[in-house]
Amino acid sequence: MQLTQRLGWIIAAAVAPIVLIDLYNAYSLIEQERAKTHRLALDYGRNAAWEMQRILDGLQGVLQTVALSPSVRSQNWEVCERFLQDVLAKLPQLTSLAVADQGAVVRCGPGSAPPVSVADRPYFQQALSGRSFVVGEYTIGRFSNRPVLPLAMPVVTPGNKVEQVVIAAIDLQWLSAILAERGAAPEGSITMADRQGTIIARQPLPERFIGTRIPDAFLHLLHEPAEGSIELTSQDGTERVLGYEPLSVPPYDIYVSAGVGVDYSYAGVYAAAFRSLLVIGLAVSVAILASTLFGRRFIAQPVSRLVATAQLWRAGDLKAKSGLSGRDEFGTLGEVLDGAIDQARRREERITMLMREVTHRVKNQMAVMLSMARQVGRNALTVEQFQKAFSDRIMAMSRSHDLVFSGGEDARLAVLILSQLEPFAIGTRVSLCGPEVWITAQSAQHIGMAMHELATNALKYGAWSSPAGRVDVTWSTVDGEPKALRIVWKEHGGPNVLPRASMGFGSTVLESVVGPALGGWSELTFEATGVRWTCEFAGHFTSTPPASKAA
């Protein structure tokens, strides 16, 4: 998985809790609004039921008054006729008001002549047998020929005998108009139905629904044991939360429901949730886009440069550079990688130089050993003396070689120089002069190489090639910031030495390698009295013995 992809997953993991919290808040807000809407629908349903109960209570009182009137009690139908006409004129909610005898013949009321029978009406039979106020079912009025809701009240004698039944019919158009005046919820509805599920009042669209039945899928609501609320799609196609009052609660035998439009009720909360989710979505999109651009610019590109540099390094290109720097992680890593490549290049150059030095030394030492063999041979009287003297010289050369290439602890400068000159068996033809100085192991390697090269050249071409020649090696500190160390090799009494036309490896080491490698300078000059080599460098030395030696 790429780093940019990992960054994307990290950002996704970081914003996921925010998104989840926002989704939960939106869900909670919607649920709160849903509960509020259900309570509102129930309140509208209760209000409509209360309104219907008020209407029925009022008409029950009217029918009770008619039943107790003297004209009805005395069966004075002519007076009763005028009385009912006066009452009906004051009750616009009724289409008819009449009194029927036990035989179901209307004796007093509109259309009483010729006599009209109501024996086929269920509400009449219920009132006749039940001796209580009866709310009928949807029907077409026999007197008005309009949709009505019939009512019936038995006239009971002191002997508990039903002599007449007062009947009335509520105008369903009037009832729907009353519902319209009371008002429904926005995008809502109010529905009233009889116990058979036939709609007796409806808002809106009463002309479309009065006289139709409630769909079978919702008929069960009429017989629920208690009020409640549900979400459904109404007959007019509108999604609503419906608060319903079944037949078992007042007004008894009338089903009442009130709907609240879902779109209207939830519009605000849905819009708020949508805005919140939109903001979160935009924020996540911006974060992902920014992470992609940021990842490419500040992660993918630096990583690609680091990988490319590492691959070039592995392929052997020691000049490769990432070019990254700065205080961030990639800058630090780039600097470390570039530094490692530089160090590897310097190590490679040093190894190459050392290999050339080893090769050069082998050739020189072969010449030195031949010279030592001749010198020892001239002075040895026996083979055993020659073997011992020659072996001592070889072991001295080995110790000198170990001191220079071991890379161990700091070395005393005088000891280092003597270790390099001892194999050449020059005795007192060299003088050393200088203060007690210890140089680092790295410096010892370079100074040792220089001393070996100078001694070899002195033996082959310079002061030590002549019996009277000698060498002075001096060193001293040079004041400054920082303090420096100056080493001078000076030859005397040898043959005239002329500079060669071209520089060999030895001259290169003496002039171009040792001084710069120690952070200083070195110079090789060919004077009339002999070769002079000067090297000066700061650091890499101390006048205090190392802790291990001081102890």
> By mean pLDDT, which of 176-180, 277-281, 406-410 is the weakest?
406-410
The arithmetic mean of pLDDT across residues 223-236, rounded, is 87
Residue 389 has a pLDDT of 62
User: What tens digit of pLDDT does each residue of 19-58 get?
Assistant: 777 777 777 777 788 888 888 889 988 998 999 999 999 9
Residue 148 in domain = yes
Residue 351 in domain = no
Domain boundary among 145, 171, 197: 171
Residue 183 in domain = no
- As a whole number of angstroms, the distance between CA 155 and CA 163 comes to 6
The arithmetic mean of pLDDT across residues 378-404, rounded, is 67
> By mean pLDDT, which of 6-10, 105-109, 460-464 is the weakest?
6-10
Indicate the burial class of 292 (C-beta count within 10 angstroms; 0-12, 13-18, 19 or more). middle
Share of the chain above pLDDT 90, in %: 24
Residue 77 has a pLDDT of 87
Q: Is the peptide bond before 482 cis (omega within 30 degrees of 0)?
A: yes
**In which order are the strands placed within the sheet that holds 541-542?**
411-412, 438-439, 541-542
Residue 20 CB neighbour total at 10 angstroms: 10
**To the nearest 10°, the Cα dihedral for 134, 140, 146, 150?**
0
User: What tens digit of pLDDT does each residue of 271-292 get?
Assistant: 666 777 777 778 777 777 777 7
Q: Which domain holds residue 375?
A: 360-550
> What total of structural domains would you count in the chain?
2
Domain boundary among 137, 171, 205: 171
Report for 68-72, 390-394, 448-452, 542-546: range of highest mean pLDDT: 68-72
Collapsing DSSP states into helix, strand and coil, what is residue 442? helix
Task: Write the DSSP string, 506-528.
Answer: HHHIIIIIHHHHTTSEEEEEEET
Q: First and final CA of the chain: distance in angstroms?
A: 57
The arithmetic mean of pLDDT across residues 527-551, rounded, is 80
The CATH number for 507's domain is 3.30.565.10
Task: Name which residue leads in pLDDT, 248 or 344.
Answer: 248
Residue 166 has a pLDDT of 93
Contact present, 98 and 83 (Cβ < 8 Å): no
The arithmetic mean of pLDDT across residues 165-192, rounded, is 86
Residue 38 in domain = no
- As a whole number of angstroms, the distance between CA 80 and CA 547 comes to 139
Residue 507 in domain = yes
- As a whole number of angstroms, the distance between CA 171 and CA 177 comes to 10
Q: If pLDDT is split at 50, 70 and 90, which confidence band does 254 have? A: very high
Residue 536 has a pLDDT of 94
- As a whole number of angstroms, the distance between CA 188 and CA 179 comes to 12
The arithmetic mean of pLDDT across residues 137-157, rounded, is 89
User: What tens digit of pLDDT does each residue of 418-471 get?
Assistant: 888 887 767 788 999 999 999 887 788 788 878 888 988 888 888 998 888 999
Residue 107 has a pLDDT of 87
Does residue 295 register a pLDDT over 80?
no
Residue 292 in domain = no
Domain boundary among 124, 154, 171: 171
Does residue 406 register a pLDDT over 60?
no
- As a whole number of angstroms, the distance between CA 5 and CA 292 comes to 8
Residue 132 in domain = yes
Collapsing DSSP states into helix, strand and coil, what is residue 187? coil
Residue 550 has a pLDDT of 44
Query: How many residues in the chain?
Result: 551
> Distances from the Cα of 294 to the Cαs of 7, 8, 9, 280, 331, in angstroms?
10, 11, 14, 20, 16
Task: Name which residue leads in pLDDT, 495 or 424.
Answer: 495
Residue 81 in domain = yes
Q: If pLDDT is split at 50, 70 and 90, which confidence band does 1 have? A: low
Collapsing DSSP states into helix, strand and coil, what is residue 76? coil
The CATH number for 92's domain is 3.30.450.20
Does residue 549 register a pLDDT over 50?
no
| Average confidence score pLDDT of the chain | 82
Residue 551 has a pLDDT of 41
Non-local (6+) Cβ contacts of 370 within 8 A are none
Q: If pLDDT is split at 50, 70 and 90, which confidence band does 405 have? A: low
